Amino acid sequence: MSEQKIVPIHAVDDWSDYSYQRFKVYTAKQLDQITQLEALSEETRFEMKVVASVLPFRVNEYVINELIQWDKVPNDPIYQLTFPQRGMLAPQHYDRVAEAMRTGMEKKELDALIKEIRNELNPHPAGQMEKNIPTVNGEPINGIQHKYRETALFFPSAGQVCHSYCTFCFRWAQFVGDKDLKIATKESGDLVGYLREHPEITDILITGGDPLVMKTRNLRAYIEPLLTEEFSHVRTIRIGSKAMTFWPQRFVTDADAQDLLDLFEEVQAAGKHLALMAHYNHWQELEPEIAREAIRRVRATGAQIRAQGPLLKHINDNADDWARMWQIQVELGIIPYYMFVERDTGARHYFEIPLVEAWEIYRDAMKQVSGIARTARGPSMSSDPGKVEIQGVTEVAGEQVMALRMIQGRDPDWVQRPFFAKYNPDATWLNHLEPAFGEERFFFEES
């Protein structure tokens, strides 16, 4: 077999010419500076401020000007994806904060109230803080999670923001400024030291936040040590990012865009597989030409783009949108990878969809695309024991049941194990389900 030749990005001479664009971001403190919001009612703008005081808000001008269709607000999916809505807080939480803001509560008291509410929103689901953070000599290594045997997650401190924030984000606790809730490290040495002791790790996922908010020189400092012979057991480097959607200029016009693409090539040249785990929630994100240019440039480095995202009420809770998104992704050379279930944290009650309905949407979307677009696994729950896939509703021995499968597990022996739960049309998460056939517990539950 002949060796694959990767064409250097700078050798390709047919890229369209794009001018530099300044990155400008708005946070909760600058909501009043977003001119498009002036068309909304004063009450709606106040509701945004209330919600943004509890859940993180950050949006940039590219998202505002290029992705949101303002004539369709409030129903535009990207508007729902990025701007706070009253329903994202439970009524009792919203009312308490709104009253405090209307009456001018002292900042210290308001901060305490907000912290109390955040702690009630399950800031770190699926055992992220209790079970996933490894220890060496009894001391936790903050900034690394190791839940599945072959894969470790790394959280560089410089990558713990995003170009814009998603309103559904299960890592919202990373962005609210509470050090007790944050997972991050400033030391690349923590990662390499841990990898030396764990040769079973084949995949590193650099995540956040978004690692691609970092300058390329900083990202290099984390990646280059992994390209040496010492870490030959690390076969795949993954980068979890929303930059393909929220700031495609990162790959096209940013000052160090070329350096980033060169780094991607260097990973490939070192014999590693580089996977950009791109987060997509709606086909609108794939429409701008600069977004497609970013895809072309990343693919030209030899890196692979895999697309994943959750199923969300108000944003993409219909089969047609998923089918259209998957088809466009395939046409652009992206591999559909996962349809997730909204995690049990943050504004979950606003976005969550019953598991049975999620499976029906997934199935109806799959029926609309060819086999080459049916690579997305799901609907998948990233739960405490592992990634659980809803495979359908069926009848066994006269009992209506839900068929599920453990596609990744905290215990490797659980991987690919099928199991059954009692039919429950209202369940939105694994802990809402009960074993079928009179069993006392699921196989992954402690006796």
Q: What is the pLDDT of residue 178?
A: 57
Residue 441 lies inside a defined structural domain of this protein: no
Q: How far apart are CA 361 and CA 316, in angstroms?
A: 10
* Nearest residue to 384 via CA among 182, 204, 122: 122
Point out the least confidently predicted range of 179-193, 217-231, 274-288, 424-438. Answer: 179-193
Do 273 and 220 fall into the same domain? yes
Planar angle of CA 188, 189, 192, nearest 5 degrees:
95
Q: What is the pLDDT of residue 10?
A: 43
Residue 414 has pLDDT above 60, yes or no: yes
Give the residue from 278, 302, 326 where a domain finishes.
302
Token pair belonging to 337: 């990878």
Residue 71 has pLDDT above 70, yes or no: yes
Residue 223 has pLDDT above 90, yes or no: yes
Q: What is the pLDDT of residue 137?
A: 67
Neighbours of 286 (CB within 10 A): 20
Q: What is the pLDDT of residue 302?
A: 97
Do 88 and 150 fall into the same domain? no
Q: Work out how many domains the chain is built from and give that number.
A: 2
Neighbours of 288 (CB within 10 A): 15
Residue 361 lies inside a defined structural domain of this protein: no
Tell me the CB-side half-sphere exposure of residue 433, using CA atoms within 13 A.
27
List, for residues 371-384, the tens digit of each pLDDT value.
999 999 999 999 99
Residue 427 lies inside a defined structural domain of this protein: no
Name beta bridge partners: 156.
185
Residue 360 lies inside a defined structural domain of this protein: no
Rounded mean pLDDT, 227-256: 97
Residue 365 has pLDDT above 70, yes or no: yes
Give the residue from 84, 119, 154 where a domain finishes.
119
Do 145 and 242 fall into the same domain? yes
Residue 393 lies inside a defined structural domain of this protein: no
Residue 303 has pLDDT above 50, yes or no: yes
Q: Look up the domain containing 60 and give its range.
A: 25-119
Do 114 and 133 fall into the same domain? no
Do 110 and 135 fall into the same domain? no
Q: How confident is the model at residue 132 (pLDDT cuts 50, 70, 90)?
A: confident
Do 219 and 98 fall into the same domain? no
Judged on CB neighbours under 10 Å (0-12, 13-18, 19+), 374 is middle
Q: What is the pLDDT of residue 18?
A: 86
Residue 35 lies inside a defined structural domain of this protein: yes
Token pair belonging to 268: 């490939």
Do 98 and 146 fall into the same domain? no
CATH number at residue 148: 3.20.20.70
H or E element at residue 260: helix 257-269
Do 145 and 281 fall into the same domain? yes
List, for residues 160-205, the tens digit of each pLDDT value.
899 999 999 988 887 876 555 455 555 667 888 889 999 999 999 9
Exposure pattern of 266-280 as b/e (b: 16+ CB <10 Å)? bbbebebebbbbbbb
Do 180 and 272 fall into the same domain? yes
List, for residues 319-339, the tens digit of each pLDDT value.
999 999 999 999 999 999 999
Distances (CA, A) of 237 to 151, 193, 196, 231, 240: 10, 17, 16, 12, 10
**E-strand stretches of 54-186:** 58-60, 135-136, 139-140, 144-148, 151-154
Determine how β-strand 236-241 pairs with β-strand 203-206: parallel
Length of the chain: 447
Of 390 and 4, the structure prediction assigns the larger pLDDT to: 390
Planar angle of CA 10, 14, 15, nearest 5 degrees:
70
Helix (H, G, I), strand (E, B) or coil at 305: strand
Do 191 and 140 fall into the same domain? yes
Please give the distance of CA 415 from its chain centroid, rounded to a whole number: 22
* Nearest residue to 264 via CA among 216, 295, 301: 301
Do 275 and 188 fall into the same domain? yes
Residue 5 lies inside a defined structural domain of this protein: no
Residue 321 lies inside a defined structural domain of this protein: no
Give the residue from 119, 138, 171 where a domain finishes.
119
**E-strand stretches of 111-268:** 135-136, 139-140, 144-148, 151-154, 203-206, 236-241
Do 113 and 133 fall into the same domain? no
Residue 126 has pLDDT above 80, yes or no: no
* Nearest residue to 88 via CA among 112, 113, 117: 117
